Amino acid sequence: MTSGKKVFGEPVCLLQEGDLWVFSKPSGMCTHPAHGEEGEDLLAWARRACGAPASLAPVHRLDRETSGLVMCSADPEQRGSMSLWFRDGEVNKTYLALVYGETRTKGTINRALADARRGKPLEAVTRYKRLEVLLERASLLRVTPETGRKHQIRRHLQGIGHSIVGDTRYPPPRWRALPGFPGRLWLHALEMNLPDGRTLEAPLSEELVAHLRLLRGDQEEQATVVTKEEDAEDSSKGA
């Protein structure tokens, strides 16, 4: 279960070109001030730690629980033109997600999602590719949303029976414990390909890297145990 309050590490300023600022946001930190939320948000941190101007504002959304790339701009005109890239689907976004269960090797989720603000379902498309299966209990996915609905990836993956590990808002039907659970939503905004030809990337958060290392280690250990058991069985048959 996630606490919803803990911030997992410090943000990192990945790029600053003129009025454009790109950050890697940690899980647990809001991008901008939010009503009723305590703690320093990303914009406040950028002004304090990096000397960013007061006019700095985000170009797009990223959930508090999700870590990874956030683009900001101090220039309203630049911010407006870049936000149109996102609205019109011109930015190719890639996320890494660890989900419960063994998914198909790849798939496309094409299912409209309810939008409370507009009062009607909106078209939503998410593609995914399985990178590996861990402990026969979880799948590491490379996810590329083609539309940008609220909580789209989380809702779509829950809808196909593979909720994201640590997602208390869109949980699986029943919880399955994973060794070394890092205590946060296992979703990271990894990469953006912009229409101007630039590619931005935020390295996977340290706590997620450590969790993968632990799961892979447990998997190798289990495989070694199975191999030893098989060898012992073969030896007994040959005796």
Question: What is the C-alpha separation between 28 and 59, in angstroms, rounded?
Answer: 19
Indicate if the alpha-carbon torsion angle 8, 204, 221, 129 is positive or negative. Answer: positive
Question: What is the C-alpha separation between 22 and 178, in angstroms, rounded?
Answer: 33
**The one catalytic residue among 19, 41, 63, 231:** 63
- Token couple for 168: 């208390």
With H, G, I as helix, E, B as strand and everything else as coil, classify residue 128: strand
Nearest CA to 11 among 40, 54, 33, 53? 40
Question: What is the C-alpha separation between 180 and 166, in angstroms, rounded?
Answer: 12
Q: Which residues contact 15 (CB under 8 A, 6 or more apart)?
A: 21, 22, 200
Beta bridge partners of 22: 15, 71
Active site residue 167: no
- Enumerate the active-site residues: 63
